Homo-oligomer: A and B are copies of this chain.
Amino acid sequence: MVNRNCIIRLSRYKNALFRLKALGFMKVFSDNLADAVGVTAAQVRKDFSLFGVTGNKKGGYLVDSLIERLNIILGKDSVNNVIIIGAGNIGTALMKYKGFEKEGIKIIACFDIDPIKFSKKADIPVLPLENIKDFIKNNEVKIGIIAVPDIAAQNVLDILAVSGVKGVLNFAPIRLKGPDDCIINNVNLEHELENVIYFVNTQEKTKQ
């Protein structure tokens, strides 16, 4: 089983490839990618070799086919319907966020408990949470984004897991416990910022 960090790097390579393609590159070498992503060339090649992704000696990798290959590995060749739970600050921002669409990730609905938030006719409808179970089953939703307050998050996860969701991106600042076959990734904005603060402070101290 491959490492989370390795998969994140694959996403980054893909990202870099799109930019290199936009710049007119038809082929790239491992050190171009390494440079674009901030890793070593050996790391790039090692990552690729784990998935049997091959290039051409002295010829590097063809940008288009490498993108295609990475998309298949990352599961982007099929449609990924995603729902958001929580139409607060974060949930709303994610609904409006254009980045997902660009990457072929489709947010198909949002759910909330507050009737004021409902907008059933919108492009991405905001629906009552009580309908979520049926919605997940009818639409075969496999991925959910939890953007509710921490106090509600575990309950939401339980509903998602029971309804058949297999992967969750959790923005609530709390560790959620779900069944083994449901992957949970956490994005904790406080911790990310705290991390920056720590390293800034540490650097300042060591300088003196």
Contacts and interface: CB of A to CB of B under 8 A. Distances in A.
Interface of A: 1, 4, 7-8, 11-12, 15-16, 19, 36-38, 73-76, 80, 82, 89-90, 92-94, 96-97, 99-100, 102-103, 105, 142-143, 145, 166-169, 173-175, 181, 183, 185, 187-204, 207
Interface centre among A97, A190, A196, A201 (most CB of B within 10 A): A196
Contacts of A103: 190, 193-194
Contacts of A102: 190
Contact of A89 (B82, B97, B183): B97
Contacts of A195: 4, 7-8, 11, 185
B201 A75 contact: yes
A198 to B, nearest CB: 5
A183 B167 contact: no
Contacts of A175: 12, 16, 36-38
5 contacts: A38-B175, A90-B93, A94-B189, A167-B197, A169-B192
